[in-house]
Amino acid sequence: MGKQTFNRINKTSKILGVLLLVSFIIFVTATSASAESVDANYQAGYQAGVQQGCIVGYNDGLKDCSAHGQNAVLTKISDPVIKDGWKDNYKTGYKKGYNEGYLASYSKGRFKCLKK
């Protein structure tokens, strides 16, 4: 009798061990796929932000140069337009890209105006 109980416990522990291993593999795979998605959203938002920041910054640089000449007048970068439906990591990338693109293009717009 004692051996039969031991065999049942041994089979049960093997089955539980296999199930635990399978669930661990699924968890690790799902986590890495989720991390790739977050990074892809951030990068897409960053690229879109840089493009929009370049356009707005360049135009603002031209306007400021035309209105104020050589005097530097940029005190605040205009806020980007953020839509409610965007994911949080996309918004974060968009804001960072927008600021970097704006600063780079603002100087280019002012320089082009000053060369005239």
Q: What is the pLDDT of residues 75-100, one digit of tens each?
A: 678 888 888 888 888 999 999 999 99
Whole-angstrom distance, CA of residue 105 vs CA of residue 68: 17
Residue 76 is predicted with a pLDDT of 77
Of 97, 103, 101, 104, which Cα lies nearest the Cα of 45? 97
Whole-angstrom distance, CA of residue 32 vs CA of residue 38: 10
User: Which amino acid makes up residue 68?
Assistant: H
Segment 8-57, tens digit of pLDDT: 667 777 776 776 766 767 766 665 555 556 688 889 999 999 999 999 98
Whole-angstrom distance, CA of residue 43 vs CA of residue 37: 10
pLDDT band, residue 68 (cuts 50/70/90): confident
Cβ atoms of residues 56 and 79 within 8 Å = no
Residue 46 is predicted with a pLDDT of 93
